[in-house]
Amino acid sequence: MRIPGAALFSSRYRLLQKRLHPITKEWGLTFYVLRHSKLAVIGGFIALAFIIIALFGSLFAPYDPISANIQDRFQPPSASHPLGTDTMGRDVMSRMLAGAQHSIKAGLIVLAIAVPLGVLLGGIAGLFGGWVDEVIMRITDMFLAFPSLVLAMAFSAALGPSLFNAMIALSIVWWPMYARLVRGQALAVRETSYVEAARSRGASNFHIMFKHILPNCLSPILVTLTLDMGWVITAAASLSFLGFGAQPPIPEWGRMVSDGRIYMLRAWWMSVFPGLGIMFVVLGFNLLGDGIRDSLDPKLRRLTEVTWKREKTSSSSTD
Amino acid sequence: MEAREDLLVVDRLKTQFFTYGGLVEALDEVSFEIKKGEIFGLVGESGCGKSVTATSILRLVAKPGKIISGRVLLDGQDLLEKNDHEMNSIRGSRIAMIFQDPTSSLNPVFRIGRQVGEPYVYHQHRGKRQALMDATRILAKTGFPDADEKARNYPHELSGGLRQRAMIAMALTCEPELLIADEPTTNLDVTIGRQILDLVKDLQREFGASVLWITHDMAVVAQMCDRVGVMYAGSIVEKTDVRTLFRNAKHPYTVRLLRAIPSAAKSAETLEEIPGSVPQLIHPPSGCRFHPRCDSAMDVCSQVKPLEIEVEPGHVVACHLFRGKGKVT
């Protein structure tokens, strides 16, 4: 049976495929490079597992992560409580499954505030130069002069201890790094002849910022973002550990490490498992970030392209 | 020829660069005019201020540089008195520029079609889709084979000749009255360069634009230009039509420059050169800037900057040798 218009549709589809080919080809290579870096694959799996746990973890928690159950306190890891129980008899595994969302929320919100702020300020500083650059970058230097965690502690102490305030505090200390990154890139792009050519065509500063400078900053931002995801999660956990972030009974991982540390000798599982969780998540995001950086490195790309093409032709000939 | 009116008048333009090494007097009272529909050539050695003249007209002189004095009149309006916003609406729509190196003048992360269509978006506020269609049309006009497909390519996927065609297409999008071409054939090989010259000449006739053609190549001047200004160390030493330049050059620098053109008939031993080298513009020679290298230098040359003298109609020379032999302009 012939469907009317099918021929037209399929020819259009083929045209679309052909037009998209340069893009999809590059994606294919990107995935190939990523796939062939074992560490990046491992990192990707850890990050993916973490995100899945954050999204659905509380559904799988066998016990209530919040309400106390005093007769079961300080249970060592066993079949009924795989990761043991804490001072209130709450199941550590259930708490960790339910708490993953707070870590990822912290990471995402902090980066969602800090990155656009830093990119915008850095871009403006780099593009306009002169006194605008001086003012913005000196403020940036002021922020960078303090150890970031100490400064974040100061801000969250001033705002009052809660997970949300900890995120605000971290965003305040996190943007300067992005401002620096983008400013450096903007300074380089500003001097290129294609920006001069764009100006000769009557492009405004706004156009130059959004059409020339930002697209050229995209890949370093992407890499830093992935690497930072892990660090922000650690920083949020650290703030909670120190009592500035999540307040009880929120099952935040850093808070759980902190709660367990007094019982370290009696009930080591209370601190060790959330601590290991934090470590793996940070490791996962860092490995993934490294992998993404490698896959975006043009030199490595061109080297790998050769083997990629060879593999593709050999697999298609054996088919 | 004589009846055509002036489109662009550059009047005693002075541009200086405030560098750490000192004050660079890049342009020292440069004056010339371009008539409507004319190709005006600006020739000179590297570093004599040709490109600075172009960027000064567009008011895009890079940071330590500044236009000190003078006037740039486009159709009688002084561009140096416009504000930034007015200037942005002139760049790309009334004055457009073709750059020397198409490879670095195209943003590597944008497709050709989108980049060529940019001026439509800036100046005529067309939608992206419409701009892309119009860009494709103008690309076809500049001799892109299958412009539809090529408009989707990234700059690195095109050859040097095609990239320069794309730059020309981009410059012509808004049908500018003045096209500034800054050595557009320098980075291309000779045959492609020739095609580009023909293309610009054809399109210039079609659009009726005036062209400021900057080059150091006398052969290109002979092919392309109607009138020529010869620059030396930041000033124009001689202005005339192209026939007079090659038959009856007056200024000692122009004469030596013409004798230094290599040709197949001359052997390497007989190739003449101008003694000395291009002067430093931080401490330029006093008086006439050419006097340390000039055969016919007199005492007055090192003391007084020569005035521009019109030795015959349309032929202006800035040299003390011709004092009293024509009208001072």
If asked whether residues B199 and B236 sit together in one domain, one would say yes
Residues B105, A211: C-beta atoms closer than 8 Å: no
Same domain (yes/no): B54, B116: no
Rounded CA separation B47/B167 (Å): 24
- With the CA atoms of B127, B129, B130 and B135 taken in that order, what torsion angle do they form, in degrees rounded to the nearest 10? 120
Architecture of domain A45-57+90-314: Orthogonal Bundle (1.10)
Is B107's CB within 8 Å of A194's CB?
Answer: yes
The whole-number pLDDT of residue A22 equals: 58
The total domain count for chain B is 2
Structure token digits, residue A190: 């500003």
Instruction: Pick the residue of B61, B118, B150, B186 with the most A CBs within 10 A to test the interface with A by mutation.
Output: B118
Q: Domain check: are B193 and B86 in the same one?
A: yes
Confirm whether B58 is domain-assigned. yes
The C-alpha of B96 sits at a distance from chain A's nearest C-alpha, in angstroms, of 6
Nearest to B88 among A193, A202, A215 (CB): A202
Same domain? For B56 and B109 the reply is no
Q: How far is CA B256 from CA A264, B236, B253, B324, in A?
A: 92, 15, 5, 23
Query: Residue B230 is part of which domain span?
Result: 6-94+174-278
Predicted ipTM beyond 0.85 = no
A193 to B99: CB separation less than 8 angstroms, yes or no: yes
Which of B91, B101, B108 minimises the CB distance to A200?
A: B91
Residues B113 and B262 in one domain: no
Q: B230, B236 in Cβ contact below 8 A?
A: yes
Q: Is residue B40 part of a domain?
A: yes
Residues B162 and B252 in one domain: no
Considering B278, B296, B317, which residue would you say is the last residue of a domain?
B278
Kindly state whether residue B313 falls inside one of the protein's structural domains: no
Q: Are residues B34 and B148 in the same domain?
A: no
Q: With contact defined as beta carbons under 8 Å apart, do B233 and B27 qualify?
A: no
Domain contains B326: no
- Whether residue B126 is found in the same domain as residue B273: no
- In this predicted model, what pLDDT tens digit does every residue of A164-188 receive, in sequence order? 899 999 999 999 989 999 999 888 8
Residue where one domain finishes, among candidates B143, B173, B203: B173
Note whether B115 and B183 are same-domain residues: no
Is residue B304 one of the residues assigned to a domain?
A: no
Q: For residue B284, what is the DSSP state?
A: P
With an 8 Å Cβ cutoff, the interface of chain A facing chain B consists of 19, 22, 129, 192-194, 196-204, 207, 211-212, 215-216
Identify the residue among A133, A201, A214 best suited for mutation to test binding to B, counting B beta carbons within 10 A and taking the highest: A201
- Average pLDDT of chain A is 84
Domain-ending residue, one of B117, B142, B173: B173
- Nearest CA distance, A194 vs chain B (angstrom): 4
Residue of A21, A26, A192, A194 to mutate for B, most B C-beta atoms under 10 A: A194
The domain that holds B247 is classified in CATH as 3.40.50.300
Domain residues of chain A, as ranges? 45-57+90-314
- Label the pairing between strands B315-318 and B308-312: antiparallel
Please tell me whether residues B218 and B86 are part of one structural domain: yes
Using alpha carbons, list the distances in angstroms from residue A165 to A114, A247, A267, B214. 14, 11, 31, 61
Beta pairing partners, B180? B97, B212
Whether B283 is in a domain gets the answer no
Do B64 and B120 share a domain, yes or no? Answer: no
Q: Are the C-beta atoms of residues A225 and A115 closer than 8 Å to each other?
A: yes
Report the distance separating Cα A251 and Cα A122, nearest Å.
Answer: 36
Residue B286 lies in a domain: no
Q: Which residues of A touch B154 (CB under 8 A)?
A: 22
Q: pLDDT tens, position by position, for chain A (319 residues)? A: 566 667 777 777 777 776 666 556 666 777 777 777 788 889 889 999 999 988 888 788 888 888 888 888 888 888 888 888 888 888 888 888 888 888 888 889 999 999 999 999 999 999 888 899 999 999 999 999 988 889 999 999 999 888 889 999 999 999 998 999 999 988 888 888 888 888 888 888 888 888 888 887 887 888 888 888 888 988 988 998 888 888 878 888 888 888 888 888 888 888 999 999 999 999 999 898 888 888 777 777 777 777 777 877 776 655 4
Quote the pTM value.
0.75
Q: Does B252 touch chain A (CB under 8 A)?
A: no
Quick check: B152 and A199 CB within 8 A?
no
B122 touching chain A per CB within 8 A = yes
Average of per-residue pLDDT across B112-120: 88
